[in-house]
Structure 1
Amino acid sequence: MSYPSIISQPGSAGRNLVPILEALKPLLSFQDLDSSPQLPIFPLYTTHIESSHNTEESGPSTSSFNLDTINKTRSSLRNHDLSRTSGTKQDEERKKRKLLEIASGEHIPFLAKIWGQVEWYGSVRDIVELRKLESYLAHHGDIPNLLPIRILDISSEHHWEGLRDDLQGEMFEGVLIINLIHCLPPESPENIFRQLSPFTQPRLLGPFGWIAIYGPWLTDNGLFRSENDEKFDRTHLKSQHPSLGLRSIASIDNLARKWGFGPSERREMPSGNTWVVWRAEC
């Protein structure tokens, strides 16, 4: 079966942005922040691009990200790497850094603005989601290091081949996936790890590259962590299709090991979510 648009709770993008920024910080080991002292203020818009059921037109929303907190995070990110030297050679290396986000949403313009020298490759499942995201991004102005959003259906071999062709032998440093795994049928997560595996040539993910996945999970024993998780699974996921639903990190660990990734690194996040990182072993 195909998989639906990302299903998440309304407002979750705004609540989750700052924790995701903090979790990304150790993965992006030196910071490529632009010279502006503060993150530009971007309003949220009412097009809820994470759900296929919301048909509102784009327009200013009353909700917003906690911009003070974001700017403090930005300052922390900049100070995180003051001990590192900079120079022409290092600057050239920085410009080559590439990150892929699978199933992009409201976070990506903020991530691209904060890590301004990293090339961000956003992707969506189909043309409908592409139009929604492009409409949303139109309100954010020009972001030079955010490449045009591409269509990447993770079940499509043709789409993955097109991505390899476009990279022309270059590779991603890491891959970011936010609130997607629970929207996938059981066979789909393995295809992500297969396509990004060091065993699959030509490689998309560079040596010792990482895959970071954020979202709600079952316990390793396959149990719900809370009543809210159980309700979300039943009401919003399995109502779409019985094969959808929360997964355990342990079940994804097994797939990751099969395709050349090491054990997961876990970080508990607000609202019962978990940030999980798998790194290629070569």
Structure 2
Amino acid sequence: MTEGKPFSQACENNKQVILEKLAAVFSSPGTILEIGTGTGQHAVHFAGNLRHVTWQPSDHPSNYQLCEPRLAEARLPNISKPLALDVSISDWQLPPVNGAFSANTAHIMSWQEVKAMFRGVAANLQQGEAFCLYGPFNYGGTFTSASNQQFDASLRRQKPTMGIRDMDDLEQISSENGLILESDFEMPANNRLLVWRKH
């Protein structure tokens, strides 16, 4: 916590490198839905630098107010009021969005929730619009680093439904929902930024 606001060191570390990729993906005006806004550090950094977009924060109904102190302090005109969003419900009842972003959520959600997130994102995007997903991922059932393997083990000790997701599984559920993997960017600390596009 800093000055009474929730704080994530991981967000602080990765916000600039993610921004550099998002600036190219979300280059047109529109509303970008963030799934799992958390502390709001990403929302403030991205909205502050991508003035042509409207940033729509959201998080689980039990957590969506966590970002409010930081958003209130930033007072950015292009950040909307955070929404309570349970990805597992069938109708998200969102205002229209033109893109979606989520960081470090897929390994915390259950696999059923990850599938529901892809379903919901696809239902709310129009053809050609993008979904950017950041975090650690496996390839062909293999960890990309020893630290990711240790992280996965710690997640599963906390809750058996959590864990690093495999790209083969993600590609299957994305294609089922009309989302095609366009880019897979290598990021610091053994993370990736995946860009899926609605077709």
Deviation at 1:19, TM superposition (A): 0.7
Alignment of 1:143-222 (within 5 A): 143-157=76-90, 160=92, 162-163=93-94, 167=95, 171-197=96-122, 200=123, 204-218=124-138, 220-222=139-141
- Residues 241-282 of structure 1: per-residue CA shift (max 9 Å, x gap): 11210011221010011111223420100111001011011x
1:131 is aligned to: 65
Report what 2:20 is aligned to.
22
1:1-282 matches, within 5 Å, as: 11-29=9-27, 94=29, 97-105=30-38, 106-127=41-62, 129-140=63-74, 142-157=75-90, 160=92, 162-163=93-94, 167=95, 171-197=96-122, 200=123, 204-218=124-138, 220-235=139-154, 237-281=155-199
Taking the aligned partners of 2:173 and 2:27, their CA distance within structure 1 comes to 27
Structure 1 contact 172–209 (Cα < 8 Å) conserved: no
Cα distance in 1 for partners of 2:78, 2:167 equals 32
Distance 1:263 1:113, change over 3 A: closer
Counting strand residues as a fraction of each chain, which structure ranks higher? 2
TM-score by length of 2: 0.89
SS in 2 for 1:175: strand
> How far does residue 14 in structure 1 lie from its aligned partner after superposition?
1.0
Q: Which structure: larger Rg?
A: 1
Q: Given residue 15 of structure 1, which amino acid in structure 2 is its aligned partner?
A: N
RMSD: 1.6
Residue 3 of structure 2 corresponds to which residue in structure 1?
none
Q: Distance in 2 between matches of 1:132 and 1:176?
A: 18
CA distance in 2, matches of 1:103, 1:118: 18
Cα displacement string for residues 143-189 of structure 1 (whole angstroms, at most 9, x for unaligned residues): 1110000100111235x0x32xxx2xxx3221001010001111112
After superposition, give the CA deviation of every residue in 1:38-61 in whole Å (9 maximum; x if it has no partner): xxxxxxxxxxxxxxxxxxxxxxxx
Mapped to 1, the partners of 2:82 and 2:140 lie a distance apart of 37
Give the structure 2 partner of residue 86 of structure 1.
none
CA gap of 1:248–1:173, structure 2 versus 1, over 3 A, is same
Residue 169 of structure 2 aligns with an amino acid whose one-letter code is S
Q: Distance in 2 between matches of 1:278 and 1:118?
A: 19
SS for the counterpart of 1:232 is helix
Compared with structure 1, are the counterparts of its residues 275 and 116 closer, same or farther at alpha carbon in structure 2 (3 Å cutoff)?
A: same
Counting aligned pairs with the same residue, the percent is 27
TM-score by length of 1: 0.64
* Displaced runs of 4 or more, over 3 A: none
Name the SS of the counterpart of 1:182 in structure 2.
coil
Q: Describe the superposition over 1:191-210 as per-residue Cα deviations: whole angstroms up to 9, x where unpaired.
A: 1222232xx4xxx2122111
Contact 2:136 2:190 in 1 (8 A): yes
Q: How far has the Cα of 1:131 moved from its partner?
A: 2.9
Shift of 1:232: 1.1
Q: Where in structure 1 are there 5+ consecutive unaligned residues?
A: 1-9, 31-93
Aligned residues: 190
Structure 2 distance, partners of 1:29, 1:135, is: 28
User: Any idea what SS the aligned residue of 1:207 has?
Assistant: coil
Q: Is the 8 A contact 2:100 2:132 kept in 1?
A: yes
